[in-house]
Structure 1
Amino acid sequence: RTKWLIALCLCVLVMLLEFLTYHMAYRIGYDEGMLTTPPVVVQKSDEKAMQNLSRFMADVFASRESLAGILDNREERLAWIRDPELRTETAWGLTRELISRGGAILALPAARELIDAGYAAGRCQVWAPRADAVAKALLAEHQYTSAYDYLKTAEEGYEKEGMTEPLVRTLQTMSSIDQMLNRNEQANMLLQRAVDAASHLGPDALPVRSRLLAAQGRLARTTGRIPESREYFKKALALCSQPDKTTGDLALASISMGEAMLEAGRKEEARELFLKGLSGSENASYLLNDCLNALRGLARISTEQGNYEEALAYLYQAEGAARGVLPADHAFWAGLYDQRGWVNILR
């Protein structure tokens, strides 16, 4: 028994010494490793990271469907990004890339989730313009109903953050869509809200106010309130008679002022403004309704000047632009064919 007891004690002593030696060596090695990582470890880690990144980027640029697949499974595919904010920004960057490749419809689920999460986190100032950007991409593809939902989201964010200028622009765009869809009462209400919001802008916002007045005049004329529409046009002309540029919203201002000039009998000035507005609205599909009005205005001027072939050319151009976009029961079609019939009779 004594021999076995001595042997057991020796075994325990050896195991204790081995454990203490291993633990001390491990701690020393760990501390040294934390201070100076061996170059081989760094190199292998970098190589692995680059391989993962290369595979990820290859999937991103492979096709729209591949990119959409990453977004649909982004919790898994972007898990290698540890910072939550950076992961969200990366997801939005991928969403924007998919939209830019003509995949706006494929990007909608991810866009909606990201925007809603941004609003829930109280970051409306960042995400409202992004909702606006999604809406513009949808408008470019004539997806008016989906675009309207994102515009409404952007409008709520702009209003909450007190971002007046983009709020006015968004309200007017929503109003234009309502007019295209024959929702004139809703369009009028939104225009009035835009006018009320624009009253808080500074003196540099005269072009914005004149554009809104012209839009109100056009809506009044559409609904048969002719004297009221002329009053709106007169006020619009008094505020801003000659917009100098024709890009973006100012293209709409040019068309609106052209309509005002035509109502006032100043045909040559109206023609010049219509042409400027049309040249500056090529990439703004939300201006379709206004572009159609400009083309019909140009046809009216050409008809009154006896240039019937040119008038018909403008009317055929308007028909081509509206075909497949405006619904068959839209008031535009009756007015267009009526005008074309009179031009043919005069010819």
Structure 2
Amino acid sequence: MNIFTPTTAHASPPSSKEMNQAVVDVEMIVGYAFKTKRLLEEALTHPSHSDAVSYQRLEFVGDAVLSLAVSNHLFLAYPRIDQGNLSMLRSANVSTEKLARVAVRHELFRFLRHSAPVLNHKVREFTEVVSKEEDTPLVYRGSVKAPKVLADIVESIAAAIYVDLNFDLEKLWMIFRHVLEPIVTPEDLQQQPQPVTKLFEVCQKHGKHVDIKYWRNEMKSIASVHVDGKFVASGSSEQKEVAKVNAVAIALRKLSKSMRLDDTSFEVITGSFHIEGAKDKLHQLCGKKKWHKPVYNIKQDEGSSHVKKFVSTVQIATIDGVLCMTGDEMSRVKDAENSAASLMIRALQESDYI
């Protein structure tokens, strides 16, 4: 696999000639000539590029369209597979991980116009890891988190074709299927254990109880993994099933640092954890990363006035999606929010965000 250089992506406004050439190149990659070139230009414009309409609306459509197109394909291709396994197959084929690898394979990032230099580093790191992998499709999350921007590009281009075809889903699949190859098959799922199944098996072996909770934040589903009542990790996605897999993959990586699978030792990496001035430090970190400021929410307010207990969550909207963390139970709201901020900072450090 050739490694492209992400720094060649537009970090400053490209000329009309450069964008016209990008349109031609991407048309060659997907094998489709657009009637309305503006759609593809929009699909290749990141929200950080303020001089033109971004791909956000197209990405919204593309997420749903690819999910439906893949669902139709799987339904027809595997008539003997039940709903549960079809759902896992679909999730594997439209996950951020899968679509990001599609973008790397076709070097789509180099055609994106954006004004966010941090994207270059994230994409370069992911690309270098993917280039060293075997050709067998990786169904679930690898050693480096897939940048969401890569999946967004694939979804946006698919949506642009779909709209240009006057919303013809069958024609879209005929044109775009080769871009998504290799399609994840039931055999691929068998060779690579499903993270959710693996997590339950590992925890059951060590006598631990796993609970996965869900809620929605605007357009996203958020899943959080709890082991013996203690928060371990969370993940988000437009699709509930993908959010669950993302959360569980993070949980497995965190738990692997605290347990040895060949004996009975097992310790959840949670519990009380305190960083002095964590709220201010997290706020400063978000400003440095150009993320939205943290949003705190008190989830629990119980007991009489002199023994009230509070639990706070904190959410951060990053380039890759919404991150959520739940703090420890505290007697004061201020301490509850600081606990959530402390755990969020540690999670960001462990996940290589900072």
Q: Which has the higher contact order (CA 8 A, sep 6+)?
A: 2
- TM class, shorter-chain normalised? under 0.3
More helix as a share of residues: 1
* Structure of higher CA gyration radius: 1
Between structures 1 and 2, the one with greater strand share? 2
